[in-house]
Amino acid sequence: MRSLRTSELILLVLTFVVIFTVLNVIMWNKHKAREKEVKDKLSKLEDQLASNLAYAPEQAFWLPKDEWLDAHMPKMSDFGAEQSALLEYLQSTARERGIRLHTQTLQKPANGSKFHKVVSVTIQSNGPDQAIYDWLSEMQSPEKFQYFSYLQLDTYEAGRPKLEMDCRFTLSRWFQP
């Protein structure tokens, strides 16, 4: 076997240098990507720690409320069944008060949050203003886990001594996740 010439030695060394440089660049990119992931995780953990530290002094205040929610918030059996039950409840209570329902729309499932699931129904109705006020005040309550995510009221005179009211609202009910 013959010995390598000077130009061949230079090319061999340059080849090794290029291979070494490319491998270092690849490793550097992987290191920077991993470092970014770690920094993001660390940032999230610092935010969570700050939240926990803010919550800790008030823990005695909030724990009974969390226990009450766990004991009283309804569990969702089936999204469609719960939405139908909410709509039937609205229809029956409106009938009892002499309120006319015009449009009834079942809303698409909402994500809610990690603490609750949401079922919503949109209603457009009209009737005597006092009946509408009473009906609406009966619906939104913490004990029923119901709230209005949208509410629009328009009053007009219907040629009678009583005022009539158009009402459009979206009523939502919360369930355990």
Residue 147 phi/psi, 5-degree rounding, is -155, 160
DSSP the chain: -PPPPHHHHHHHHHHHHHHHHHHHHHHHHHHHHHHHHHHHHHHHHHHHHHHHHHHGGGHHHHHHHHHHHHHHSPBPS-HHHHHHHHHHHHHHHHHHHTPEEEEEEEPPPB---SS-EEEEEEEEEEEEHHHHHHHHHHH-BTTTTEEEEEEEEEEEE-SSSSEEEEEEEEEEEEEB-
pLDDT value at 88 more than 70: yes
| Domain boundary assignment for the chain | 6-69, 79-175
* pLDDT reading at 10 higher than 70: yes
Q: What is the pLDDT of residue 170?
A: 92
User: Average pLDDT of 130-158?
Assistant: 86
Residues 6+ apart with CB under 8 A from 168: 122, 123, 124, 125, 150, 151, 152
Q: How far apart are CA 9 and CA 108, in angstroms?
A: 72
Q: What is the CATH number of domain 79-175?
A: 3.30.70.60
Contact 92, 139 (CB under 8 A): no
Q: How many CB atoms lie within 10 A of CB 104?
A: 14
Query: CA-to-CA distance for 79 and 91, rounded, in angstroms?
Result: 18
Write out pLDDT tens, residues 107-141.
Answer: 887 766 777 888 899 999 988 888 899 999 888 87
pLDDT of residue 41: 96
pLDDT value at 105 more than 80: yes
C-alpha–C-alpha distance, residues 24 and 121, integer Å: 59
Per-residue model confidence (pLDDT) at position 159: 64
Distance CA 137, CA 171 (A): 12
Quote the CA–CA distance of 168 and 145 in Å, as a whole number: 20
Query: Which pLDDT score, from 0 to 100, does residue 129 have?
Result: 85
* pLDDT 10s digits, 17-70: 999 999 999 999 999 999 999 999 999 999 999 988 888 888 889 889 889 888
Per-residue model confidence (pLDDT) at position 161: 63
pLDDT surpasses 80 at 152: yes
The residue-averaged pLDDT of 138-148 equals 85
